[in-house]
A and B are shown apart, each in its own frame.
Chain A
Amino acid sequence: MSRYLLRRLLITIPSVLGISVVLFTVLALAPGDPFGELATNPAIPPEVQATLRLKFGLDDPVPVRYLHWLSAMLHGDWGFSFASRIDVDRLILQRLPVTLGVIGASQLFALLVALPVGIYAATRPYSLFDQVASTFALIGFSLPTFFTGIVFILVFSIYLNWLPFVFRSDLASTGFAWWWEEFRQSIMPVAVLGLFQGATWTRFVRSAVLDVVRLDYVTTARAKGLTESGVVLKHVVRNALIPVVTLIALQMPIVFGGAIITEQIFRIPGIGSLLISAILANDTPVIMAVTFVFACLVILFNLIADLLYGWLDPRISYR
């Protein structure tokens, strides 16, 4: 197990480097000097510009600039936000917990929907429940999150006036009232994101369980006289969920995309809405850093999924 863990960790490093190369190449290919606002300002005389360009290494060859950028990122020097007048890493650290909270809660919600529905549907294939569930799963995964978000606001905030549609990070209340407010304002974003993911995962869970449910060892378990629930929960689901873990990890890029949209609709102050406002404000250091953080989060969750996979499926540990 520990060797597997170590090897898996080592594979992660080239991935992070690869992504940083892709991001930096995109930036280097882009016309203009996105980092060079100071140097291209016409109010600054040419000599000063040349000195500044030399100082920031803007005329160095791209690989050299990449190494500079990478070592700065590794040292925690992520630059300075033009718009917010604060260090980028502090800005991101302020915003990250909200994003992770919303994503975490919505994934939990999605699992709570997908697991029971998917398992129940797969153990009764082509029954009425299965057909209804499959159709709804396809509809749920076709509904764009930005549209469900708007419909939710329309129904629950405007017509029914039950829930607030702007997420506030500065709630005045304390104690129990604070938790209640926080819960109320989180319902819609979490539901929008969770229902979309839940629909996708229901399909995954259903087909994974279907692959396992007719195997011979399941028949053996039934023949031994185990109860149906015992067979399904202990024998079928445990094996069926192994591939689902990988599929969930592959969904992470889409989850983060959904988080950006949800944060933008409900004005949640997370890193997704930070990215959008940074793009609108031409705040290049923030844009680069947030994109890189998203990429690292995806890799992190892939890593977690692989480790989980190794733990769930002992065959893989010794490969």
Chain B
Amino acid sequence: MAGSTPASPTVDAPGVTAQGDAVGIAAPGTTRARHVTPWTEAWRRFRRHRLAVVSVVILLTMILAVMFGPLLWRAQINDIDFTAQLQGPSLAHPLGTDDLGQDLLARMLYGGRISLAVGLAAMSVSVVVGTIVGSLAGISRGLVDNALVWLIDLFLSLPQLPVLLLLIYLFRDSLKHLVGQELGIFILIVAGIGSFRWMTVARLVRAQFFALREKEFVEAARALGASTFRVVVRHILPNALGPVIVAGTIDVAAAIIAESTLSFLGLGFPADIPTWGRLLYDAKDNLDVAPHWALFAGGAITLAVLTINFIGDGLRDALDPRRIL
């Protein structure tokens, strides 16, 4: 497209790269141009998105906090203290207490583990399913492809939250008996969210197959006797990595929101597993006396989702194949 505008200011302007190349070649003392791997290049682009870099720092801090915080902050998540109900932030309770006098910092740290773990696990499910379906549709033409595309469209038009609620309603009890309450609801939520987020990945992967499967390097690999599986895994899928990473990042954020939504509706994790959404659900009836409770829980969800989305934005600039070089 002649003179189209890049979607983001941090995508390199043509002049910048040209200048960089010129420096690389003409730099005195270097006999050959510095070898730049795609990942170094991506990192260089990513760094230009300042908000994304800040987001990485914040998100890493949050992840480290929920991983190691409970080791440092020794308050128990279920220590009930009726002398300290609904207190605002103080030295003894940096984030205040809830209606049973339980320490909110400890609960937030513990809940953060679950919320982030759900996000990552659901993302893995959706990326794996999406890659498999997308590859199947991309490599097989005709009937199978049509059927899979129809399936993708069908899942895209399912109303996700109602169906997710339906799944939880129907399978909650049996999974609880099977593997225990906590693991059961974890599996259910991860599988449920994952099974509604794979379509984007599948479409991206399928699009890559359509763009690449007739290309010369694929023909060459075939001519050398590579099996279909090898062509798919070694030659085509790596090209889909960039868009899939971006979609996967956004999926983590979406899964965290979905889990929080379910818990917020009172249909996710039970009260003794204080995920951030569950904390918000418990907090919403005490808004007038203890606003800190809701604000800290909601703030944590928002911060996590926001930083992940900013990182996704930065990754898009760094990895988007449509970038202007």
Contacts and interface: CB of A to CB of B under 8 A. Distances in A.
Contacts of B313: 138
Interface in B163-220: 163, 165-171, 173-174
B169 A287 contact: yes
B292 to A, nearest CB: 11
B302 A147 contact: yes
Given A146-B280, A250-B156, A298-B158, A279 B309 contact: no
Interface string B4-42: 110101000000000000000000000000000000000
**How big is the B interface, by class?**
35 or more
Contacts of A143: 302, 305-306
B261 interface: yes
B124 interface: no
A153 interface: yes
Nearest to A16: B157
Contacts of A279: 165, 168-169, 267
Contacts of A253: 156-161
A250 B299 CA distance: 28
B46 interface: no
Main SS of the interface on chain B?
helix
Given A147-B280, A150-B298, A207 B159 contact: no
B110 interface: no
Contacts of B156: 250, 253
Chain A interface bracket (under 10, 10 to 19, 20 to 34, 35 or more) = 35 or more
B16 to A, nearest CB: 14
Contacts, number: 161
Nearest to B10: A126
A254 interface: yes
Contacts of B319: none
A135 B310 CA distance: 9
Interface in B117-164: 150, 153-154, 156-163
Given A294-B159, A295-B159, 14 more contacts: A19-B158, A22-B163, A26-B170, A138-B306, A138-B313, A142-B305, A143-B305, A144-B261, A144-B302, A214-B5, A253-B156, A275-B162, A280-B266, A291-B159
Interface of B: 1-5, 7, 9, 51, 150, 153-154, 156-163, 165-171, 173-174, 253, 257, 260-261, 264-267, 277, 280, 283-284, 287-288, 291, 294-295, 298-299, 301-302, 305-306, 309-310, 313
